[in-house]
Structure 1
Amino acid sequence: MTTERYTRFQPCYVLRDNDIPCVIWGEDAVGYYGVPTVVFTFYILVPDIDKAANILIQRGWHLEDNAQSQFGNHPLSSAHRRLMPPIDMTENIRIQPSRGPPPPPSKLPPGPTMTILLPATEWHFTFPSVLEGFFPPLPALLDALIDRLLDNDPLANENWSHLAILIAYLYSYVPALKEKSFAEYLKYEHRQYHYDSLSGMRTGTLPFVRHQRKVRDALRDGNHRLCDCSANQDDESLFTAKVEERLRALHASPCSPDEYEIEKLRQEEYERDYSD
């Protein structure tokens, strides 16, 4: 394990050594499962953000103004604590490879960085009785992200687009999520989300998120039966392939590549004749 990797994850070591459960969140978490994303701020879920922050402060971290916090490219207004690492945290580090989390897929992961502590309950994550390492299990990660995404109407959720992107990345890059049977590992109320994500719907859009909120609520109320697809495939707000095809046709070249080359040669011959 390189010093850079160790220093990025050092808050987790400090918290664990002080009996504070924690899991890595955000880009680092999806990166662990194979999503080729870059990482910026280091997000951690903990049971109590104030208790965890106090532990880190005792080890040299210092609180920063929450007004500057972001989740993705949007302000983070929900409960959190934002801390900067000690300036000399890369010095005199005792490396413990056997206890460390696997590194994200980045070839050159960054070193010490801004750390944001998030309350696990608000992000719908329940700590298991035994948690190996610092990364959440894939089903728990997906369940929590979906729950957070569907908490409120997207227009009332400033982070909905980034949450939708993280979920879409998981479905794009994690082979296990391409299997219909993975639904068995998810909460019952999220299984239709999984089926719909595999059905050809355009995920991550405002219509999709609003549709999934209605379906999730119907499942909770017992008013929906799980199926391969919860929407009519003629609904172009959810199935956008035909719309995209029409748009491509509008901007398509008026002639084929062969016709273009023939016309180009004719134009060149005309210009030569005209110049003579």
Structure 2
Amino acid sequence: MGNTKSTPRRLKQASPSMGNSRYEACRLLADKQIPNVIWLEDLLALHGSNTQVWDLHLLVEDPRTAAKILLDSGYEEMPPEARFENDPEFSKRAIRIARYRSSTGVVLHMAREWYYQLDDGVQDFLPPLHSFLDSMIEFWLNISSQDYVDRLGFALYIGCLINYCYYLHNSEGEPVKSLTYAENLKPEHREVHYNITSADPKEESFTTTSRHMYHVRRSREIKEGIFVSRPYEKGVFRAPLATVLEQ
């Protein structure tokens, strides 16, 4: 049984298909016709972020099926990483495995839980940045108000990953932290985008409890067609709505 704690490292930006042993699991799964994509910190690093990476997180359709293929290839199952042991998205519904004596685990997540549609057209197992951002914003919006209190650390971790995107550029060189980048995102996620791109250091972060409540409400209203998100006026910060009732 391996360690529950992985060792952080920094990646050099490179293609996962060019012989990097860190992404061996991606290739093993693909060889068995199991679609998979790179997720979380590794995705950000491969898009140019200087974030550290720990375990390699992959999205698959069925974690148990994918795990069996890797276990048959010499991997062994590991306990969840200690920092996520109280987060069921990692500790219960994902599967963590690793090569014998490896300090780096491979965590297999169900793509549907992260609001991501697996697409055979993804190159080098790396989703485009806007797809990741759409999925992460949707995941963040679906954190319940109770979990935003009881598991605030996890909620802020997701918010941090979203925020990392806003220091990057897409493949065409367009900065994510621009108003026009909103056109790459789903309409129900653009209010979050405008909040982040217009944020003043003196104002509260989009990750606060009150802002989360505001964005949950606005996202629902956008889907219902009763609110249209627009860029924030300079110097005008939208106050949070007084109350949000969970459905």
Whether TM exceeds 0.5 here: the answer is yes
Q: For the residues of structure 2 that align with 1:121 and 1:15, how far apart are their CA atoms?
A: 18
Contact 1:84 1:114 in 2 (8 A): yes
Instruction: Read off the aligned partner of 2:165 and give its amino acid letter.
Output: L
1:131 equivalenced with 2:122 (yes/no): yes
Q: For the residues of structure 1 that align with 2:34 and 2:68, how far apart are their CA atoms?
A: 11
1:223 equivalenced with 2:226 (yes/no): yes
Contact 2:25 2:70 in 1 (8 A): yes
Q: For the residues of structure 2 that align with 1:115 and 1:39, how far apart are their CA atoms?
A: 12
Q: For the residues of structure 1 that align with 2:87 and 2:145, how far apart are their CA atoms?
A: 15
Contact 2:35 2:120 in 1 (8 A): no
Contact 2:168 2:175 in 1 (8 A): no
* Aligned equivalent of 1:116: 107
The SS at the match of 2:115 is coil
Contact 1:154 1:160 in 2 (8 A): no
Of residues 132, 135, 152 in structure 2, which corresponds to 1:141? 132
Instruction: Read off the aligned partner of 2:105 and give its amino acid letter.
Output: M
1:203 equivalenced with 2:206 (yes/no): yes
Q: TM-score, normalised by structure 2?
A: 0.76
Instruction: Read off the aligned partner of 1:121 and give its amino acid letter.
Output: R
Contact 1:150 1:212 in 2 (8 A): yes
Contact 2:114 2:136 in 1 (8 A): yes
- Which structure 1 residue ranges, 4+ long, deviate > 4 Å from structure 2? 68-71
1:86 equivalenced with 2:100 (yes/no): yes
Instruction: Read off the aligned partner of 2:218 and give its amino acid letter.
Output: V
Q: Assess, with a 3 A threshold, how the Cα gap between structure 1 residues 43 and 212 changes in structure 2: closer, same or farther.
A: same
Instruction: Read off the aligned partner of 1:26 and give its amino acid letter.
Output: L
Instruction: Read off the aligned partner of 1:130 and give its amino acid letter.
Output: G
User: How far off is 1:30 after superposition?
Assistant: 1.1
Percent identity of equivalent pairs: 26
Q: For the residues of structure 2 that align with 1:213 and 1:141, how far apart are their CA atoms?
A: 19
Deviations 1:154-186 (A, max 9, x none): 541532111100111111344521221111111
Contact 1:168 1:203 in 2 (8 A): no
Q: TM-score, normalised by structure 1?
A: 0.68
- Name the count of aligned residue pairs: 210
Of residues 160, 168, 177 in structure 2, which corresponds to 1:165? 160
Contact 1:46 1:117 in 2 (8 A): yes
Instruction: Read off the aligned partner of 1:229 and give its amino acid letter.
Output: Y
Q: For the residues of structure 2 that align with 1:130 and 1:226, how far apart are their CA atoms?
A: 30
Contact 1:125 1:144 in 2 (8 A): yes
Q: How does 1:172-191 map to 2 (within 5 A)?
A: 172-174=167-169, 176-191=175-190
Deviations 1:201-238 (A, max 9, x none): 63322222222111111111112122113996274x79
Q: Assess, with a 3 A threshold, how the Cα gap between structure 1 residues 127 and 30 changes in structure 2: closer, same or farther.
A: same
* Aligned equivalent of 1:263: none
User: How far off is 1:51 after superposition?
Assistant: 0.6
The SS at the match of 2:74 is coil
Radius of gyration: which is bigger?
1
Which has a greater percent of helix? 1
Unaligned runs of 5+ in 1: 88-110, 239-276
User: How far off is 1:69 after superposition?
Assistant: 5.4
1:34 equivalenced with 2:48 (yes/no): yes
Q: How well do the aligned residues superpose, as a CA RMSD in angstroms?
A: 2.8
Q: Assess, with a 3 A threshold, how the Cα gap between structure 1 residues 211 and 143 changes in structure 2: closer, same or farther.
A: same
Instruction: Read off the aligned partner of 2:226 and give its amino acid letter.
Output: N
